[in-house]
Amino acid sequence: MNIRDFKKSDVFTFEAKCNLWNKENVNFSVDFFDEAKGKELEILSEHLVDIEKQLQWIGENRTSIEKALIDDDMVSLADDWASSAAEAEDEEQECYIMEDGQKVFMPISEEDFCKSLYIDGLNINFENSWDKPTIDMYLCCSPDYFAYHCISIFIDENKKIEAGSLAG
């Protein structure tokens, strides 16, 4: 990762793209503490390694994030949302056609749910500490079980993963 990969943001301190979970060009943002105002580029160049560590942690902990979603009963929620779509009439097994046109067979397995997940975007927030930032992630599914909504995830400074609600 290189400082040229980042651009100043209107909302966050900087934005960039990365590759995570086998998806290219995942949008992510980085937020610094208020004292950084005026020296953002200098601070960014000093802390590229810290940003890379957080992205690496996300890449290495997909299974833990998926487990948090499963523990929070997101698979059942996906079943509920998917079963409200149009039913496919040409299938022997219960099947629905999602808004993105993909067919979903019921019930959705944990494995299929986890395979469907991809990162739509994330924010790494260094406002309190370079060593212990917080992370907000937005996960989407393909097939789109949640009709153009994302799953909001919060990862606290101790890397405790909390599945949030749907956003969108």
Quick one: three-class SS letters along the chain? CCHHHCEECCCCCEEEEEEECCEEEEEEEEECCHHHCCCHHHHHHHCHHHHHHHHHHHHHCHHHHHHHHHHCCHHHHHHHHHCCCEECCCCCCCEEECCCCCEEECCCCHHHHHHHEEEEEEEEECCCCCCCCEEEEEEEECCCCCCCCEEEEEECCCCCEEEEEEEC
Predicted local confidence at residue 135, as pLDDT: 97
Per residue in 16-53, pLDDT (tens digit) is 999 999 999 999 999 987 666 778 888 888 889 999 99
More confident residue, 37 or 87: 87
pLDDT, one tens digit per residue, over 101-123 is 999 999 999 999 999 999 999 99
Domain boundaries, the chain: 3-167
Q: So what's the pLDDT on residue 46?
A: 86
Mean per-residue pLDDT over the chain, rounded = 93
pTM: 0.91
pLDDT at 148: 94
Q: Which of 60, 48, 51, 80 has its CA nearest to residue 146?
A: 80
